[in-house]
């Protein structure tokens, strides 16, 4: 099956999901499916910049496409048919992270006690 590649911003909007692309990326970083990549600014200022990239694990959700602006920089694009899995992984990553910070159980688990 050939699946269209789209940006997270487009897929989040198309599916009316309550997360923005930056939060989605941060949550996928928590799962190991994405990573921040740092590079030196091309202006010669010495400033370090960064972009997000799918890891080997995250490549099941999409591809890293050349940005066209910088030889190193890529932009993650997601397979339309795999985006639901990527979104659920991001949500799980955010929930697991919240549990490590705030401890305890989810709201649903508390109601069952």
> Which pLDDT score is estimated for 112?
53
- Contacts (Cβ under 8 Å, ≥6 apart) of 58: 28, 32, 33, 34, 76, 86
Q: For residue 42, what are its two tokens?
A: 């091309």
Break the chain into its structural domains and give their ranges.
Answer: 5-101
85 phi-psi bin (left φ>0, alpha ψ -120 to 50, beta other): alpha
Measure the CA–CA gap between 32 and 108, rounded to whole angstroms.
26
> Which pLDDT score is estimated for 41?
80
pLDDT in tens, 88-105: 999 999 999 999 998 866
Query: Considering the entire predicted model, what is its pTM?
Result: 0.85
Q: What's the whole-number mean pLDDT along residues 70-87?
A: 93
Q: Dihedrals φ, ψ of 39, to 5°?
A: -150, 155
Measure the CA–CA gap between 21 and 7, rounded to whole angstroms.
9
pLDDT in tens, 31-56: 999 999 998 887 778 899 899 999 99
77, β-bridge pairs: 63
> Which pLDDT score is estimated for 3?
76
> Which pLDDT score is estimated for 45?
85
């Amino acid at each position: 099956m050939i699946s269209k590649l789209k940006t997270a911003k487009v897929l989040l909007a198309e599916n009316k999901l309550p997360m923005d692309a930056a939060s989605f990326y941060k949550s996928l970083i928590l799962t190991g499916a994405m990573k921040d990549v740092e590079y030196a600014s091309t202006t010669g200022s010495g400033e370090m910049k960064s972009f997000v990239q799918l890891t080997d694990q995250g490549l099941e959700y999409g591809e890293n496409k050349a940005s066209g602006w910088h030889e190193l920089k890529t932009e993650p694009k997601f397979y339309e048919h795999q985006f639901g899995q990527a979104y659920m992984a991001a949500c799980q990553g955010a929930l697991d992270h919240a549990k490590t910070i705030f401890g305890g159980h989810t709201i649903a688990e508390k109601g069952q006690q």
